[in-house]
Structure 1
Amino acid sequence: MKLFAPIEHPRDIRCKLGLNQQAFWSAIGVTQSGGSRYEAGRNMPKPTRELLRLVHIEQIDLAKIKHEDLAIVAYLAESHPDLYKSLRSAVKGQQVKTEGEQAAV
């Protein structure tokens, strides 16, 4: 999913994950009633959309990310773009492999 791309159907994402509105929306700091409005079609602010994407689509545990980690990634991408791209490709390949193994179980 592209950064800042609209999320057309947050309810579909929530249902696919098997979460109720309270659990789904509170994970990104949105009230159940606010989330209900987004599911009904109200425009979602970009920060909320990105939190939804990171937490529920990318499955990133935001509690484990430190500012220093983000600084390292930014430094690596800027200073050593070839190494960054190589590492990124390796991680994506590992994720695909892991997903394939989980599907086989």
Structure 2
Amino acid sequence: MKSFDKIDNIREIRKKLGLNQIDFWNKIGVTQSGGSRYESGRNMPKPVRELLRLVHIEQVDLAKVSRDDLAVAALLKERNPELYAELKKEAKSGKK
């Protein structure tokens, strides 16, 4: 799934994770009532959709990501795109 793609099956994602609405939506800073509206089809803002994708689909623990981590990744991508692509491919394949 690409960044900012529409997510159609939010309720299904939540249920597969075994989370109730409060736990699922609180992880991305949305109230249960707001999340319920999104699950019912209300349009979700792009920032909320991207947080949902990162936290619940990509399983990124936002508490472990620092500003420095993002800056280093951006520099690596800019200054050595071949190494960045190689590391990204390796990370996706699960090799360490």
The TM-score with structure 2 as length reference comes to: 0.97
- Displacement over 3 Å in runs of 4+: none
Aligned length: 95
| CA–CA separation in structure 2 for the residues paired with 1:36 and 1:94 | 35
CA drift at 1:9: 1.5
Deviation at 1:93, TM superposition (A): 0.7
TM-score, normalised relative to structure 1 = 0.88
**Which structure 2 residue ranges, 5 or more long, are not aligned?**
none
> Aligned pair 1:7/2:7, yes or no?
yes
Q: Percent of aligned pairs with the same residue?
A: 63
In 2, the alpha carbon distance for the partners of 1:29 and 1:87 equals: 31
Output the CA distance in 1 between the equivalents of 2:93 and 2:7.
25
Kindly indicate whether structure 1 or structure 2 has the higher relative contact order, using CA contacts under 8 Å at least 6 residues apart.
2
1:1-105 to structure 2, matched below 5 A, reads 1-94=1-94
More helix by share: 1
Structure 1, unpaired ranges of 5+ = 96-105
Letter in 1 for 2:11: R
Distance in 2 between residues matched to 1:92 and 1:65, nearest whole Å = 18
Distance of 2:36 and 2:92 partners within structure 1: 33
Q: Give the aligned residue type for 1:86.
A: E
